[in-house]
């Protein structure tokens, strides 16, 4: 039951596929913009050297171990060519693995090369890092909104086994420290106001110490609400997080009516890395979120070779 609620609260990957009209439009607009930026008024080098009627076969090759992501996104980009696909999103790859073979007009293939590789390299790099990081944790992991290519980065996280968290500001209510500053630090007021919003059933409150965590829990458990609540422990030590969760569970038990226990989900965030993720994941949290999965991911080494 709890695992199902974790997915419901923090995973929006079902929206990140080409069959979703909104995502498809995002992909098409993204590539149109990037191609226009890259090609400019025309590839003067290629147009000077290569005949406009020349056809070639090009292979997209991986140069290191990793997880492939971005295939679903780039295939529509190159749909005017004859394409043979050797790998799919989520596949493990190693040095010299071929993932695509493309046959078509040389000028056009070279025009698309950089944009095609940029997406495959970045998305595969994020998916690979998420895959490796997930193995280090004893709970679910998620990215944050610290992204370069927002929806592409979120999709890559899901391919690697991480949850997406919010795709945008409408996905869920997340009361952050900036909101609390404006409300003079009144956590109870923030929770009550968030509960009144009818546009989402998901409410998360960010806390920076045990006192705020317990105040949030006390307020949540006294609400008559059908919303799903979560508490995010931000930049708190594993020991404090663990102790806070024990006390929150006591509050939940104390305030339960007729054994109808309020469910509060728990997230740890802020300063979490591969070096400390295991310690955080053992505190009792349901999920840890890590900005470094997207803002510090290394691109996977992928190249295009002409036969």
pLDDT confidence of residue 257: 61
Q: Which of 146-155, 189-198, 252-261 has the lowest mean pLDDT?
A: 252-261
All structural domains of the chain: 13-128+298-306 (3.90.1170.20), 176-290 (3.20.20.70)
pLDDT confidence of residue 39: 87
pLDDT confidence of residue 245: 98
- The mean per-residue pLDDT over the stretch 13-38 comes to 94
Report the mean per-residue pLDDT for the chain: 94
pLDDT confidence of residue 38: 87
For residue 62, name the pLDDT band (cuts at 50, 70, 90).
Answer: very high
pLDDT confidence of residue 182: 93
Residues 131-158 have pLDDT tens digits of 999 999 999 999 998 888 999 999 999 9
- Burial bucket for residue 9 (CB in 10 Å: 0-12, 13-18, 19+): buried
47 vs 304, more confident: 304
* pLDDT surpassing 60 at residue 258: no
* pLDDT surpassing 90 at residue 90: yes
Full-model pTM: 0.93
- The mean per-residue pLDDT over the stretch 37-53 comes to 90
* pLDDT surpassing 90 at residue 43: no
Phi-psi region of 79 (alpha: psi -120 to 50; beta: other; left: phi over 0): alpha
For residue 262, name the pLDDT band (cuts at 50, 70, 90).
Answer: confident
- The mean per-residue pLDDT over the stretch 287-301 comes to 94
The rounded distance, in Å, linking the Cα atoms of 90 and 68 is 5
- Burial bucket for residue 170 (CB in 10 Å: 0-12, 13-18, 19+): exposed
- Burial bucket for residue 58 (CB in 10 Å: 0-12, 13-18, 19+): buried
The rounded distance, in Å, linking the Cα atoms of 231 and 234 is 9
- Burial bucket for residue 44 (CB in 10 Å: 0-12, 13-18, 19+): exposed
Cα–Cα–Cα angle for 160, 161, 162, rounded to 5 degrees: 100
For residue 162, name the pLDDT band (cuts at 50, 70, 90).
Answer: very high
- Contact call for residues 66 and 128 (beta carbons, < 8 A): yes
For residue 224, name the pLDDT band (cuts at 50, 70, 90).
Answer: confident
Residues 96-142 have pLDDT tens digits of 999 999 999 999 999 999 999 999 999 999 999 999 999 999 999 99
The rounded distance, in Å, linking the Cα atoms of 120 and 91 is 13
The rounded distance, in Å, linking the Cα atoms of 87 and 100 is 7
- The mean per-residue pLDDT over the stretch 153-182 comes to 94
The rounded distance, in Å, linking the Cα atoms of 216 and 232 is 10
| 3-class DSSP string for the chain | CHHHHHHHHHCCHHHCCCCCHHHHHHHHHHHHHHHHHHHCCCCHHHHHHCCCCCEEEEEEEECCCEECCCHHHHHHHCCCCEEEECCCCCCEECCCCEEEEEEEEHHHHHHHHHHHHHHHHHHHHHHHHHHHHHCCCCCEEECCCCCCCHHHHHHHHHHCCCECCCCCCCCCEEECHHHHHHCCCCHHHHHHHHHHCCCCCEEEEEECCHHHHHHHHHHHHCCCCCCEEEEEEECCCHHHHHHHHHHHHHHHHHHCECCECCCEEEEEECCCCCCCHHHHHCCCCCEEECCHHHHCCCCCCEEEEEC
Closest CA to 286 of 248, 259, 257, 250: 248
- Contact call for residues 73 and 19 (beta carbons, < 8 A): no
pLDDT confidence of residue 42: 84
- The mean per-residue pLDDT over the stretch 261-270 comes to 93
């Amino acid at each position: 039951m709890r695992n199902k609620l974790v997915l419901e609260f923090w995973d929006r990957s079902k929206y990140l596929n080409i069959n979703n009209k909104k995502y498809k439009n995002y992909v098409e607009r993204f590539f149109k913009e990037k191609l226009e930026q890259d090609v400019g008024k025309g590839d003067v080098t290629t147009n000077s050297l290569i005949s406009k009627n020349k056809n070639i076969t090009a292979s997209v090759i991986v140069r290191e171990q990793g997880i492939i992501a971005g295939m679903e996104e780039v295939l529509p980009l190159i749909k005017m060519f004859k394409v043979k696909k050797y790998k799919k999103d989520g596949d493990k790859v190693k040095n010299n693995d071929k993932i695509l073979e493309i046959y078509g007009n040389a000028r056009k293939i070279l025009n698309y090369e950089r944009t095609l590789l940029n997406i495959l390299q970045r998305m595969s790099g994020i998916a690979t890092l998420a895959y490796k990081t997930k193995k280090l944790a004893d709970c679910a992991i998620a990215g944050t909104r610290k992204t370069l290519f927002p929806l592409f980065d979120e999709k890559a996280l899901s391919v690697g086994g991480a949850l997406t968290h919010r795709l945008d500001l409408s996905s869920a209510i997340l009361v952050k420290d900036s909101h609390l500053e404006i409300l003079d630090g009144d956590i109870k007021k923030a929770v009550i106001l968030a509960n009144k919003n009818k546009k989402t059933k998901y409410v998360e409150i960010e806390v920076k110490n045990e006192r705020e965590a317990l105040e949030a829990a006390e307020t949540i458990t006294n609400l008559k609400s059908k919303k799903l609540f979560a508490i995010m422990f931000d930049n708190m030590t594993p020991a404090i997080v663990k102790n806070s969760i024990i006390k929150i569970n006591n509050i939940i038990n104390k305030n339960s009516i007729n054994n109808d226990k309020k469910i509060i989900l728990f997230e740890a965030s802020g300063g979490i890395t591969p070096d400390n993720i295991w310690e955080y994941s053992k505190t009792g949290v349901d999920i840890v979120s890590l900005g470094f999965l997207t803002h510090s991911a290394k691109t996977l080494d992928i190249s295009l070779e002409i036969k």
